[in-house]
Amino acid sequence: MLEVKDLHFTYPTGVEALKGINLTIDDGEFLAVMGQNGAGKTTLVKHFNGLLKPSEGEVLVDGVSTRDVSVAKLARNVGFVFQNPDHQLFSETVEAEIAFALKNFGFEEAVIEKQVDWALNLLDVTKYRKTSPFMLSGGERKRVALASILAWDPKVIILDEPTIGQDYQQKEKLQQFILQLNAQKKTVIIVTHDVEFVAECNPRIILMTQGKILVDGVAEKILTDPKLLEQASIVPPQITQIFLRLADLGLPTDVIDVQKATKILLNRLRERS
Amino acid sequence: MAVIETRDLTYTYPGATEPSIKDVSITIDKGDFVILTGPSGCGKTTLCRCFNGLIPHFYNGNLEGKIEVAGLNVADHKIHQIARHVGFVFQNPENQLFALSVEKDVAFGLENFAMPRDEMRKRVDWSLQMAGISELSERPPHELSGGQQQRVAIASVLAMQPEIMILDEPTSFLDPVGAQKIFEVIKELNNKLGITIILVEHRLDLASNYANHVIVMDEGKVVLNGTPREIFTSEEARLIGVGIPKATRMYQQLKQNGVHLKTVPVTTEETVVLLREVLKHA
């Protein structure tokens, strides 16, 4: 469980990025942190594995304050995939990149091999096993970064903007394995602007603006409230925009994904005919 | 009039065994707003690097076929000659920002063009304003957020008012409202100044309102080339994994269930009109 209690954080430059955050994330939850650029989303999640320590208040991971534990120790349970893969990739081959943390955590050789194969396969980068991460495209590097974290099977997985540079099929795969990880009782936290991606996943959302949490709730409530979204520089999903404009015909206004939208329209058309 | 023309363009990076782009033959007209899309790793960025001469002059490797940009044969001209015509906003803004203040970064290209100081001042202020970052002018770029850096990178290319602007996922770090603003800025440059736009983008839901020409690549080849409507409504686009707008996907699902809308919608606006129509007659 992650507990955030009256968290304030001020960068050395004097910018107060977080202004009193209170939040509890239970084991096995799937949470999307959304909000405008500079709202403090990345700053907040960097507290979850101790990369940043609170200026005031505290962050507890399974009851232990992040102030009292090293990042190395926290990382075993809380994996963090950076927004920019170039901030975390450095090895000569994709394979070595993925094996690196496993070696550091002291896994046995056989386990390392198995986990590397599993992660390569999961992220569809097996063919690049012997390639330098820096020869890959932006989207592929992003997947390697993800694979290197998933390989050691942390309990909590934080993904900062995981859909950047990913095409539609990769996004669908990403969605599937996030849901799969979540089904395995992993806590998954994504920081994202990608409303269409969130709409298809339907997680709990916290909407941030200017260092504070504006609202905390389910996707179907939050993504269908244009006034709320506007305050956080988010645009409703296209399906929601369509349904909001058809509200006068008595259609529901809390629709965010294509499947449900189609179902509602078909039912409506059948009723009438 | 063609501003970019390639014939059977094939390129292999040094040390690579396979070409990254194969037999690419395309024509981009002056004033086009092009979306270049396709699965990750399909060769989009590589093709863009040919448009401003980074390939072959910076990356070396083996370039075959013909490419002409703004009337210049790319193979025979230096990068700085091509840069006068082609501005490039990189996928990763950190790859292009280096100065100690945002303002200096934005002014750098103009300094290299030896622009008079007064005019440079005007241009820098204008492009900062267009990108919505006037208040960041004194800040060091490396201390900014990913989204803010992306705006600085766009401003620094905007400042040069190139004939052709290439933007490689220029809004990936931006929130949706921020992204929409950037797309609107780009559209305005396209409309008012006639700048040819080449936008590499996966988020077609957002971008499809702005383009008149879509090019889809897969495994190094151009597989689809046409208007947004032609592309988004084609079965191939779905199979290749192009992120067709949700509205278009809903249309497809309705069609599979026997509900036919009059035309294939791409934008929200069109969908609302079409749905009203069928719901009224139901």
Q: What is the pLDDT of residues A2-31, one digit of tens each?
A: 999 999 999 888 889 999 999 999 999 999
- The yes/no answer on whether domain A2-225 falls in CATH 3.30.300.30 is no
Portion 140-159 of A in contact with B at CB < 8 A = 140
CA dihedral A147, A151, A157, A160 (to 10 degrees): -20
Residue-level pLDDT at B241 = 64
Nearest CA to A208 among A24, A29, A43, A5?
Answer: A43
Portion 161-220 of A in contact with B at CB < 8 A = 161, 164-171, 193-196
CA distance B65 to chain A (A): 23
Q: Answer whether A92 touches B (CB < 8 Å).
A: no
Nearest CA to A96 among A162, A143, A144?
Answer: A144
First and final CA of chain A: distance in angstroms?
51
Query: Which residue of B172, B246, B259 is in closest CB contact with A196?
Result: B246
E strand map for B145-209: 164-168, 196-200
Q: Answer whether A38 touches B (CB < 8 Å).
A: yes
Portion 60-89 of A in contact with B at CB < 8 A = 83-84, 86
Residues B261 and B165 placed together within one structural domain of the fold: no
Residues B230 and B250 placed together within one structural domain of the fold: no
Q: Answer whether A226 touches B (CB < 8 Å).
A: no
∠ CA A56-B143-A43 to the nearest 5 degrees?
35
Residue-level pLDDT at A107 = 92
Total domains in the fold of chain B: 2
First and final CA of chain B: distance in angstroms?
47
**Which of chain A's residues have a Cβ under 8 Å away from the Cβ of B246?**
196, 237-239, 258
**Which one of A194, A242, A267 makes the best mutation probe of the B interface by having the most chain B beta carbons within 10 Å?**
A242
CA distance A246 to chain B (A): 7
Q: What is the Cα B20 distance to its own chain's centre?
A: 19
Query: How many Cβ contacts (< 8 angstroms) between chains A and B?
Result: 144
* Residue A168: HSE in the Cβ half-sphere, 13 Å Cα cutoff: 21
Would you list the domain boundaries of chain A?
2-225, 237-273
**Contact yes or no for A98/A116 (Cβ under 8 A):** yes
CB contact (8 A) between residue B45 and residue A135: no
Residues B17 and B107 placed together within one structural domain of the fold: yes
Structure-block tokens of residue A248: 């006068």
**Which of chain B's residues have a Cβ under 8 Å away from the Cβ of A36?**
175, 177-178
CB contact (8 A) between residue A245 and residue B272: yes
**Contact yes or no for A38/B148 (Cβ under 8 A):** yes
Q: How far apart are CA B267 and CA A216, in angstroms?
A: 30
pLDDT tens digit sequence for B199-245: 998 777 666 778 999 999 999 999 999 988 888 777 777 666 677 78
Q: Give the pLDDT of chain A (273 residues) as one tens digit per residue.
A: 999 999 999 988 888 999 999 999 999 999 999 998 889 999 999 999 999 999 999 999 999 999 999 988 898 999 999 888 888 888 899 999 999 999 988 999 999 999 999 999 988 899 999 999 988 887 788 889 989 999 999 999 999 988 887 777 778 888 888 888 888 899 999 999 889 899 988 899 999 999 999 999 999 999 999 999 999 989 899 999 999 999 999 999 999 999 999 999 999 988 866
Structure-block tokens of residue B67: 């490419």
CB contact (8 A) between residue A268 and residue B268: no
CA distance B1 to chain A (A): 31
Nearest CA to A140 among A156, A158, A164, A116?
Answer: A164
Cα dihedral A235, A237, A238, A242 sign? negative
Phi, psi of A29 (to 5 degrees): -80, 155
Residues B268 and B171 placed together within one structural domain of the fold: no
**Which of chain B's residues have a Cβ under 8 Å away from the Cβ of A42?**
145
Residues B51 and B156 placed together within one structural domain of the fold: yes
CA distance B100 to chain A (A): 15
Structure-block tokens of residue A45: 């999640």
ipTM for the predicted complex comes to 0.79
∠ CA A209-A210-A215 to the nearest 5 degrees?
30
Domain that holds residue B254: 245-282
User: Please, which residues have CB within 8 angstroms of residue B205's CB and are 6 or more apart in sequence?
Assistant: A196, A238, B243, B245, B246
Among A90-94, B20-24, B36-40, B70-74, whose mean pLDDT is lowest? B36-40
Residues B140 and B263 placed together within one structural domain of the fold: no
Peptide bond into B56 cis (omega under 30): yes
Among chain A residues, the shortest Cα distance to B150 is held by A37
CB contact (8 A) between residue B257 and residue A232: no
CB contact (8 A) between residue B202 and residue A167: yes
Tell me which H or E stretch contains A147.
Answer: helix A138-150
**Which one of B17, B37, B40 makes the best mutation probe of the A interface by having the most chain A beta carbons within 10 Å?**
B40
Residues B12 and B142 placed together within one structural domain of the fold: yes
Residues B130 and B262 placed together within one structural domain of the fold: no
Higher pLDDT pick, B91 / B125: B125
Residues B18 and B155 placed together within one structural domain of the fold: yes
List A61's β-bridge partners, or say none.
Answer: A2, A64
CB contact (8 A) between residue B39 and residue A136: no
CB contact (8 A) between residue B176 and residue A266: no
**Residue B169 included in any domain:** yes
**Which of chain A's residues have a Cβ under 8 Å away from the Cβ of B257?**
262, 266
**Which of chain A's residues have a Cβ under 8 Å away from the Cβ of B282?**
268-269, 272-273
Place of tokens 């990769």: A170
CA dihedral A124, A84, B133, A36 (to 10 degrees): 70
**Which one of A168, A195, A249 makes the best mutation probe of the B interface by having the most chain B beta carbons within 10 Å?**
A168
Residues B64 and B204 placed together within one structural domain of the fold: yes
CB contact (8 A) between residue B259 and residue A266: yes
User: Please, which residues have CB within 8 angstroms of residue A71's CB and are 6 or more apart in sequence?
Assistant: A49, A50, A51
**Contact yes or no for A187/A157 (Cβ under 8 A):** yes
Which CATH number do you get for residue B182? 3.40.50.300
Average pLDDT (B235-256) is 80
| Count of Cβ atoms closer than 10 Å to residue A13 Cβ | 9
Query: Which residue of A137, A235, A239 is in closest CB contact with B40?
Result: A137
Which residue type, as a one-letter code, is found at position A44?
L
Q: Answer whether A260 touches B (CB < 8 Å).
A: no
Average pLDDT (B61-76) is 95
Q: Answer whether B86 touches A (CB < 8 Å).
A: no
Residues B97 and B210 placed together within one structural domain of the fold: yes
Q: Answer whether B242 touches A (CB < 8 Å).
A: yes
pTM of this prediction? 0.79
**Residue B239 included in any domain:** no
